[in-house]
Amino acid sequence: MKQPSVGRAIEIRKATAVADDILVQHYLALWESYGTPDDQMQPDATARVLAFIQDARKHRGLAVFIATVDGDVAGSIACQRHISPYPDVVMPVHRQYGYIWSVYVEPAHRRLGIARRLVDQALDHLRSIGCTTAVLHSSEAGEMLYEQAGFKLAKEMRRAL
Ligand SMILES: CC(C)(COP(=O)(O)OP(=O)(O)OC[C@H]1O[C@@H](n2cnc3c(N)ncnc32)[C@H](O)[C@@H]1OP(=O)(O)O)[C@@H](O)C(=O)NCCC(=O)NCCS
């Protein structure tokens, strides 16, 4: 249900590496929200996320944004230049994908427009580092949010192996 946001101070800030633990915590909570059983998770999941973040910050223009409500951490998002899974032959000025991941808002702070504001910040950041298109993979919970933010379904085909 939509919650009233009147009177609550919602702030979004660009995070430094000091806040990496918040992103890790939210990213793991996101996998939990998908119903991923604990025994399917990598035992060193935290270290893996931290290593990914550090590499993306160094090489791919990673930015992390944190949302707070009345000073309490409420949500976060990460984005960076996307690495193509096939050879890139088009000049980045014409085609540079940016990838958005770990869009997470804590249950107590949902339906206040926080995710939408986080997505807008991520889009601004991707534009600022020269991206021409933003890409993400949506959860079911995220579909309406991304449609509202202007995302369209694209064709990715999959089959089980
Ligand atoms: C999906 C998620 C990020 C949405 O966060 P949020 O801050 O509650 O979203 P917002 O308040 O910004 O919602 C923006 C719009 O998205 C849609 N929306 C968001 N949550 C919805 C829900 N539970 N049911 C229906 N529509 C929803 C609405 O259209 C909403 O606009 P409105 O409130 O004006 O109607 C949050 O529910 C979450 O963290 N879920 C678990 C993790 C996850 O699935 N993340 C997405 C990964 S791709």
Each domain of the chain, given as residue ranges in start order, spans: 10-148
CA 26, 30, 35, 36 torsion-angle sign: negative
Check residue 6 and give its pLDDT. Answer: 72
**145 Cα nearest atom in ligand 1:** 16
Give me the CATH code for the 10-148 domain, please. Answer: 3.40.630.30
Select from 140, 79, 138, 149 the least CA-distant residue to 113.
149
d(CA 74, CA 71): 9
What digits encode the pLDDT tens for the residues 77-110?
A: 999 999 999 999 999 999 999 999 999 999 999 9
pTM, two decimals, is 0.95
d(CA 118, CA 18): 19
What digits encode the pLDDT tens for the residues 25-60?
A: 999 999 999 999 999 999 999 999 999 999 999 999
**105 Cα nearest atom in ligand 1:** 39
Specify whether the CB–CB gap between 133 and 98 falls below 8 A: yes
Specify whether the CB–CB gap between 125 and 18 falls below 8 A: no
CA of 76 to the centre of ligand 1 (A): 13
Q: Whose CA is nearest to atom 34 of ligand 1?
A: 113
Structure tokens at 77: 């998002």
Structure tokens at 159: 């089959």
